Amino acid sequence: MRLKTDLEYVGERDSFLETLLAGKKILHLGACDAPYTREKIASNTWLHGLISEKSEVLGVDFDEGSVKMCHEMGFENVIARDIFDLAASDVSPYEYILFSETIEHISDPGEFLVRLAGLMDDSQKLIVTTPNAHFWRNSINGV
More confident residue, 35 or 78: 78
Average pLDDT in the 46-51 region? 96
Structural element, H or E, at residue 69: helix 64-72
Higher pLDDT, 53 or 140: 53
pTM of the model: 0.85
Listing DSSP states for 110-129 in one string gives HHHHHHHHHH--TT-EEEEE
As a whole number, mean pLDDT of residues 23-43 equals 94
- Non-local CB neighbours of 72 within 8 Å, separated by 6+ positions: none
HSE of 34, CA atoms in CB hemisphere, 13 A: 15
pLDDT tens track for 84-136: 899 999 999 999 999 998 888 888 999 999 999 999 999 999 999 988 766 54
Average pLDDT on 45-70 reads 96
Mean pLDDT of 3-14: 67
Q: Is the peptide bond between 35 and the residue preceding it cis, with omega within 30 degrees of 0?
A: yes
Q: Which of 99, 86, 89 is nearest to 17 (CA)?
A: 99
What per-residue confidence (pLDDT) applies to 131? 82
- Structure letter (DSSP) for residue 95: S
Residue 142: the pLDDT is: 52
CA 59/CA 68 separation, integer angstroms: 12
